Structure 1
Amino acid sequence: MSAKPWLAHYGEGRPAELTPDHETMLDLFNASVARAPSTEVIRYFDGVLTLAELDRASDALASALLDRGFAAGDRIALYLQNNPAFVIGLVAAWKAGGIAVAINPMNKHRELTYLLADSGASALLCLDDLYADVGRAVVASGGTDVRIVITASALDRQHRIDPRLFAHVTKPVIEDASDLETLIEQYDGRTPPPVAPSPDDVAILTYTSGTTGVPKGALNTHRNLAFNAQTYRDWMALTPDDRILGVAPLFHITGLVGHVGVALLLPAPLILAHRFHPGVVLDAIREHRPTFTVAAITVFISLADQPDATADDFASLTIAYSGGAPIAPAVRNRIAAATGLNIHNIYGLTETNSPSHGVPYGASAPVDPTSGALSIGVPVFNTDVRVLGEDGEEVPVGEVGEFAIRGPQVVPGYWNKPDATAESIPGGELRTGDVGFMDSDGWFYLVDRKKDMINAAGYKVWPREVEDVLYTHPAVREAAVVGVPDEYRGETVKAFVSLRPGSSATPEELVEYCRANMAAYKYPRTVELVDDLPKTTTGKILRRELRSSR
């Protein structure tokens, strides 16, 4: 089965293949510094960092790390929110010949200990409050190799302090760690010895639990990251005149590539706001007028639901993409009506360094007439996708199977886990665990995760299809569907629903609505109304938490 029919949809004259300008992130960064040193590359509230200033600050940090025994191939963990410190630490890691390790700032003692120990990180750059609450005890426990600790403050690099995020934040003096800004000042003007990483050297480890639940460090290489930063640029027709709204967490692959990588490549300003707070981000949109963003659909829902938001607020965002979770057509249409945003779908994984598929900019994703699913797009540059059945063989066009992806953005494996690599990436082809199909025109549709399928009396029910129907109800804000035990059917369908502000609906009404709009074996037998659905920091709804509460 060929994935090439999509070429007809991408637009006449647009290339099928991408020839990268840069093969390493450090080459990409250095080229931008040489080309446009005065370009603003970070806007953090009222603080600004130019490329030249980022270059100088990362030189200073890299020099400080090397002075403290950091060596080529060593790992530095970045335990931060969406702050300038993350970008400074990332570039400094490369200049010191090292590897960054991206860590979710929501992780607690057990999780941080595992990630630091598994990665073998010798250095830790973290927010001062995270160090006080979690990091200090982890380092002191002796269960990791960390010997260099550097802290940063959420207040660094800004002057106008937003009370919604920082009302109780102060910058303490931490005796058992070095302060990032102090180090940068002490080493200002120092440059580390030049390094030339190979395209196949690891640039950053990003941890994914995958289908087993055991955290695995994906080996995101310089080539992987640089290729897909350029994919974003060319697929979405981005230029240095654009401004990037950085709402995806920077520790997540979407934020790393779709925000940081793109900003360093173009170069263009990356607008950061510490963490996602819809009111704060809405103000940042009004102030900085971003033109491009990529975010989970829940981010767009939250922004659209702000009581004082208007379509004029979003007028500058002419290029808006959503990834991380499927989009129901009804949700896309509702956001468009409230904000004027034309949300394009994008699909990828940690192991594909963000996009493997995307809706071409300016195109309208089709809706499958049978399932009602909105297309996730077509394979991006230089990427081949197969749809495989249970036997590992390709299935015919239109049939559901597992996506298997091969391309220059696919990671070579997992950190110190050869068995997991062999199982998930045999022969360099990623087995995603996501199921869907390709239509006769080459558009791809995501059905669901393999593990989320519900078996109701022998019938397969995909939660995504039930959720899409629920989203067409005018009172539904968010929905998640899981399987629950049933004495008669073995397993049956349950929906968790949060309602839109000012709307009302009973569980019985929602059950009846679904029953009238889908086959009898698919509709939810029970609906539970909740104020909010549990989500990851990237905005993806956590079905597993709902299963555990059922």
Structure 2
Amino acid sequence: MSWYDDRPWMDRYDESTRSVGEIPARTALDMFSAAVESAPDGPAIRYLGGTLDYREVDELSDGVAAYLAENGFAKGDRLAIYLQNIPQFVLALLGTWKAGGVVVPLNPMYRDELSHILTDAGVTAIVCSENAWADRVAERAAAAGVRIALTASELDIQTSDDARVFGGVTRARAEGVPDLLEVARARAGADVPDPGLVPDGIALVSYTSGTSGVPKGATNTHRNLTVNSSILRLYESKPAGSPIFALAPLFHITGMVCQLLTAIDLASPLILAYRFDAGVVLDALERERPVFMVGPSTAYMALMAHPDFSGERFASLEAVMSGGAPLPPAIVERFRELTGKYIRNGYGLTETSAPCVVVPPNLEAPVDPSSGTLAIGLPLPSAVIRIVGEDGHDLDALEVGEIAVDGPMVVPAYWNKPDATAQSLPGGRLLTGDVGFMDAQGWVYVVDRKKDMINASGFKVWPREVEDVLYRHPAVREAAVVGEPDSYRGETVAAFVSLRPGQTVETDDLVDYCRERLASYKAPRRVVIVDELPKTASGKILRREMRRSTPA
């Protein structure tokens, strides 16, 4: 028994938070059914002037499930969702679960990454935007053996005439590929058999880059998701029907749990705005009057920098939270000065089904006096956070080591990767790979990466993946990719390359080359051409030497 097991952080909570008991086991569909029963005519989704109530979402997602079943989608099959924050994302998610399937959420910026994930997850069906289908999905889906495809238009349901929102997007119906909303409407309210979901069954396979550099699928169970969304609902003490703004993308575990599922648990409207545009978000906040919002610190920086920013637009918000990227104390103070709202920090991973550490509603995070680092919060009442040494033993307060997480939000395994599961999830405890410390009161601080992972605006980037792309360029001889400090993104990607004899290339051309083959946040923002990269005696490139040469 160690001091972590005594959970000293509980003394920092107020009485209502300490009294939060064990969350009952249930599935995400149980949660949704309860919302439909309690508020059938209440708004479930608000999307740029358009609205779907809970009864409509229920009937349309029945239609999606019926279509999938008609086309051979079976219990346990995987469906990939490759969409921005649009209503069809929610319909595809619920429809898949109603068909007994598992959802694979995909970042719509992925390109070459699609091939690996579709194949690794054994995806049977995919839902993507009309424009993405012909541009980058069709060929990769066929190669991966995907049998069922549906497309969706971001122009449906909404009524906005704001040219900033869609940036010239037009309808682009793909021949022979059905539209998800059309098939859902044609079968709305279909009699869908009980899919037989159980709390410990897999709800999502959420891909995250791990210490091997190869994206791994975390198997988020229904219990993982519903426990965390329910604890957040109880934690925030918001009344039913409280509007939640989707600042974070729904494909990300933060958007999935802290926004979408928490809204369902409250039978509340989820406010969607397609994708992040600071001006569009500011207008939506003023128009929709949400009470809760969570997103990366970079989003708050962009909002404050926009010419239309004003504190009045945030007046309705009762809780503003940040997670996924480092939150500088100066940003917290500036945001409070301009809006009167305090940004509460939080911490979680895909493997913890979003938050496991959060600043409680009644407190403010302290700043470590030696490093100037803002605490990420206190462990949730349902979690036990500990700091462990290289030998796996618990460390004392203020000692620096790896952050480890125990609790009902921790995934049981990685998809089809027993070795990675044994390494990162020994005995059900998650070894996060993040380095930090805890003070005697239970405040947790993150101080560094354990490995070479780059965290750019909350998105994780594995250097080897970028290097592999650079090596495919005919002019590149060697490449080393590192993270360098960035006041806006936390970290940004920098690449150092040497060229083949007789070859020349512009650094901007190398950046463009990567952007064509990777999600944009993975592409280097700075490329430096050098004569020779430093190496060990065995020939291994020394990334740490490159990191020392990046600007502080």
2:21 paired with 1:2 = no
Question: In 1, are the aligned partners of 2:25 and 2:199 still within 8 Å (CA)?
Answer: no
2:436 paired with 1:433 = no
Question: In 2, are the aligned partners of 1:347 and 1:356 still within 8 Å (CA)?
Answer: yes
Question: In 2, are the aligned partners of 1:125 and 1:149 still within 8 Å (CA)?
Answer: yes
Matched letter for residue 121 of structure 1: V
Cross-structure match for 1:30? 33
Superposed CA deviations along residues 523-543 of structure 1, whole A, max 9, x for unmatched, are xxxxxxxxxxxxx9xxx9979
User: Aligned to 1:94, which of 94, 97, 121?
Assistant: 97
Question: In 1, are the aligned partners of 2:130 and 2:173 still within 8 Å (CA)?
Answer: no
Cross-structure match for 1:502? none
Cross-structure match for 2:340? 340
Cross-structure match for 2:303? 303
CA 542–129 in structure 1, closer or farther in 2 if over 3 Å, else same: closer
**Deviation of 1:114 (Å):** 1.2
Question: In 2, are the aligned partners of 1:155 and 1:161 still within 8 Å (CA)?
Answer: no
2:387 paired with 1:387 = yes
**Deviation of 1:18 (Å):** 3.4
CA 59–177 in structure 1, closer or farther in 2 if over 3 Å, else same: same
Cross-structure match for 1:212? 212
- The normalised TM-score by structure 1 is 0.82
Cross-structure match for 1:115? 117
Matches within 5 A, 1:114-513: 114-140=116-142, 143-451=143-451, 495-496=485-486
Question: In 1, are the aligned partners of 2:114 and 2:140 still within 8 Å (CA)?
Answer: yes
SS in 2 for 1:448: strand
Aligned equivalents of 1:89, 1:543: Cα separation in 2: 27
SS in 2 for 1:427: helix
Superposed CA deviations along residues 219-273 of structure 1, whole A, max 9, x for unmatched, are 0100000000101101122221421110101100000001111111111111111
Cross-structure match for 1:512? none
Question: In 2, are the aligned partners of 1:436 and 1:444 still within 8 Å (CA)?
Answer: yes
Matched letter for residue 257 of structure 2: V
Aligned equivalents of 1:419, 1:548: Cα separation in 2: 35
SS in 2 for 1:14: helix
Aligned equivalents of 1:144, 1:136: Cα separation in 2: 10
Aligned equivalents of 1:272, 1:27: Cα separation in 2: 23
- The normalised TM-score by structure 2 is 0.82
Superposed CA deviations along residues 404-461 of structure 1, whole A, max 9, x for unmatched, are 10100000011111100000000000000111111111111111211259xxxxxxxx
SS in 2 for 1:122: strand
Question: In 2, are the aligned partners of 1:22 and 1:28 still within 8 Å (CA)?
Answer: no
Matched letter for residue 114 of structure 1: H
Aligned equivalents of 1:202, 1:71: Cα separation in 2: 14
Question: In 2, are the aligned partners of 1:414 and 1:421 still within 8 Å (CA)?
Answer: yes
Question: In 2, are the aligned partners of 1:101 and 1:205 still within 8 Å (CA)?
Answer: yes
Q: Which runs of 5+ in 1 are unaligned?
A: 454-462, 468-481, 483-491, 500-535
Matched letter for residue 40 of structure 1: P
**Deviation of 1:337 (Å):** 1.3
Matches within 5 A, 1:515-526: none
Question: In 2, are the aligned partners of 1:7 and 1:16 still within 8 Å (CA)?
Answer: no
CA 498–377 in structure 1, closer or farther in 2 if over 3 Å, else same: closer
Matched letter for residue 55 of structure 2: A
Aligned equivalents of 1:86, 1:404: Cα separation in 2: 32
CA 542–167 in structure 1, closer or farther in 2 if over 3 Å, else same: closer
Aligned equivalents of 2:223, 2:484: Cα separation in 1: 43
Aligned equivalents of 1:541, 1:72: Cα separation in 2: 35
User: Aligned to 2:59, which of 56, 59, 75?
Assistant: 56
**Matched-pair identity in %:** 45
**Deviation of 1:16 (Å):** 5.5
Question: In 1, are the aligned partners of 2:399 and 2:438 still within 8 Å (CA)?
Answer: yes
Cross-structure match for 1:487? none
Superposed CA deviations along residues 480-519 of structure 1, whole A, max 9, x for unmatched, are xx9xxxxxxxxx99755579xxxxxxxxxxxxxxxxxxxx
Aligned equivalents of 2:148, 2:484: Cα separation in 1: 49
SS in 2 for 1:363: coil
Aligned equivalents of 2:158, 2:313: Cα separation in 1: 23
Question: In 2, are the aligned partners of 1:328 and 1:373 still within 8 Å (CA)?
Answer: yes
Question: In 2, are the aligned partners of 1:18 and 1:231 still within 8 Å (CA)?
Answer: no
**Deviation of 1:8 (Å):** 1.6
Aligned equivalents of 1:37, 1:166: Cα separation in 2: 30
- Which moved further from structure 2: 190-199 or 26-35? 190-199
Superposed CA deviations along residues 265-317 of structure 1, whole A, max 9, x for unmatched, are 11111111110000011110011011101100111111111122111111111
User: Aligned to 1:81, which of 80, 84, 109?
Assistant: 84
CA 498–414 in structure 1, closer or farther in 2 if over 3 Å, else same: closer
Aligned equivalents of 2:82, 2:308: Cα separation in 1: 33
Matched letter for residue 45 of structure 1: L
Aligned equivalents of 1:494, 1:52: Cα separation in 2: 48
Matched letter for residue 37 of structure 1: P
After superposition, the CA RMSD in angstroms is 2.5
Q: Which runs of 5+ in 2 are unaligned?
A: 457-462, 464-481, 490-514, 529-549
SS in 2 for 1:193: coil
CA 494–268 in structure 1, closer or farther in 2 if over 3 Å, else same: closer
Question: In 2, are the aligned partners of 1:403 and 1:436 still within 8 Å (CA)?
Answer: yes
SS in 2 for 1:451: coil
Superposed CA deviations along residues 359-417 of structure 1, whole A, max 9, x for unmatched, are 11121111122222211111102211110112221111111110110100000011111
**Deviation of 1:139 (Å):** 2.8
Matched letter for residue 36 of structure 2: V
Aligned equivalents of 2:204, 2:447: Cα separation in 1: 30
Aligned equivalents of 2:159, 2:266: Cα separation in 1: 27
Aligned equivalents of 1:166, 1:335: Cα separation in 2: 28
SS in 1 for 2:287: helix
Matched letter for residue 34 of structure 1: E
Q: How many residues align?
A: 474
Matched letter for residue 56 of structure 2: E
- Which moved further from structure 2: 116-125 or 326-335? 326-335
Superposed CA deviations along residues 147-179 of structure 1, whole A, max 9, x for unmatched, are 111000010111223211225222233212111
Aligned equivalents of 2:20, 2:447: Cα separation in 1: 27
SS in 2 for 1:386: strand
Cross-structure match for 1:517? none
Cross-structure match for 2:492? none
CA 270–74 in structure 1, closer or farther in 2 if over 3 Å, else same: same
**Deviation of 1:548 (Å):** 6.1
CA 341–248 in structure 1, closer or farther in 2 if over 3 Å, else same: same
Aligned equivalents of 2:382, 2:209: Cα separation in 1: 27
**Deviation of 1:2 (Å):** 2.6
Aligned equivalents of 1:22, 1:58: Cα separation in 2: 23
Aligned equivalents of 2:395, 2:520: Cα separation in 1: 29
**Deviation of 1:12 (Å):** 2.8
Cross-structure match for 2:48? 45
